[in-house]
Amino acid sequence: MEISNRKKTEMLRIMKRIRTFDETCQSLFVSGYIPGSLHCYTGEEAIAAGVCSNLRKDDYILSNHRGHGHLIAKGGEFKFMLAELFGKKTGYCKGIGGSMHLASLELGILGANGIVGGGICIASGVGFSIKYQNLDKVVVCFFGDGAASNGVFHEGLNFASIHKAPVIFVCENNLYSISMKQKKATGVENISIRAAGYDMPGETIDGNDIIAVYESSAKAIERARSGKGPTLLEYKTYRWRGHYAGEPGDGLLYRDKEEIEMWKTKDPIKRFQENLINNKVLSINDISSMEKEIQEEMDKAIDFGNNSPYPEIEYLYKNVYV
């Protein structure tokens, strides 16, 4: 598959933006500037960036508790995301939802979710709806290996299968459901083989190789768009940090330092960046200016968040009902 240099550059930018955003949020949380829970995506950036680079603005995604990467890759802006994390009125959800309920209907982001697996059956419903209305759209549902142990995984995939709904189920297998090793949590090594049970294609792919992610998801999205039905994609990856920001040991209570370090050598960003430099797609200078722009965007977002007001207390009672 031919990928333009422009597209490759854009994908690197998305990954770097995700890394910058989440690492900044981690520091802001630890230093007390972010009042509530968040889950860092660091190490898994290639999946959101690779998959969403195949989507159109009006395609839908459903995200999960580790959702910042998905939002950024689908067009989310730092400032509105960070304002939300600060609990400010200018956030995507007016500061009411926070990290785990970030959503932007305008961008086709039907919400992060605080319940593991919570988006899977909704995604099947969205897929049904797209088909019902004969729309030229697809829906991508991001969830982790932990969600694959929940009953909704079965119900959602089965339902999408019987309706040949245009849903791409993206399992981000970071090898741990909080502290539990995936090997102990699921009876199969590769979750994608379960696709056979739903008569849909399933594939396990290196989730730290953005080109592989891009190409495999392009195929699944095209399949969904042309009415052939859903696909289950499993991307093997690793989260560098703990399950949540502020977790004691930052992931070391249940993982060896060696294991974490080994995965850091597979850094999806470094890998892709070296590839682009070696193939003369980008120069070191190009990359420095890209990083500088991203840092400026981040700094502006912090100012925007800081200077934004909290929602008025009346917001407590707003929007419970339409």
Partner 1 sequence: MRQITYREALREALRYNLINDERVFLAGEDVGVVGGGMGVSKGLIEEFGPKRIVDTPISENAIAGLGIGAALTGLRPVVEIMYIDFVTCCMDMILNQMAKIHYMFGGQVNVPMVLKTVTGTSGGNAAQHSNNFYAMFINTPGLLVVTPATAYDAKGLFNTAIVNENPVVFIEHKRIYNIKDDVPEEYYTIPFGKAAIRRQGKDITIVATQALVFDSLKVAEEMQKGGISCEVIDPRTLNPLDKDTIFESIKKTGKLIVADEGCLTCGFASEIASLAAQELFGYLKAPVIKVGSPDTPAPYSPPLEAAYIPGERNIREAIIKIMKYSI
Query: Under the rule (CB under 8 A), what is the footprint of partner 1?
Result: 60, 91-97, 101, 103-105, 110-111, 113-115, 118, 120-130, 132-133, 139, 151-152, 155-156, 158-159, 162, 318-322
Nearer Cβ to partner 1 (254/315): 315
Shortest gap between Cβ of 319 and partner 1 (angstroms)? 4
Shortest gap between Cβ of 215 and partner 1 (angstroms)? 28
Shortest gap between Cβ of 125 and partner 1 (angstroms)? 2
Nearer Cβ to partner 1 (9/129): 129
Shortest gap between Cβ of 152 and partner 1 (angstroms)? 5
Nearer Cβ to partner 1 (49/83): 83
**Angle, helices 45-52/268-278, rounded to nearest 10 degrees:** 60
- Non-local CB neighbours of 264 within 8 Å, separated by 6+ positions: 43, 240
Nearer Cβ to partner 1 (166/201): 166
Shortest gap between Cβ of 273 and partner 1 (angstroms)? 35
Shortest gap between Cβ of 303 and partner 1 (angstroms)? 22
Shortest gap between Cβ of 133 and partner 1 (angstroms)? 7
Nearer Cβ to partner 1 (162/262): 162
Nearer Cβ to partner 1 (58/296): 58
- HEC sequence for the chain: CCCCHHHHHHHHHHHHHHHHHHHHHHHHHHCCCCCCCCCCCCCCHHHHHHHHCCCCCCCEEECCCCCHHHHHHCCCCHHHHHHHHCCCCCCCCCCCCCHHHCCEHHHCECCCCCCCCCCHHHHHHHHHHHHHCCCCCCEEEEEECCHHHCHHHHHHHHHHHHCCCCEEEEEEECCEECCEEHHHHCCCCCHHHHHHHHCCCEEEEECCCHHHHHHHHHHHHHHHHCCCCCEEEEEECCCCCCCCCCCHHHHCCCCCHHHHHHHHCCCHHHHHHHHHHHCCCCCHHHHHHHHHHHHHHHHHHHHHHHHCCCCCHHHHHCCCCC
Nearer Cβ to partner 1 (56/318): 318
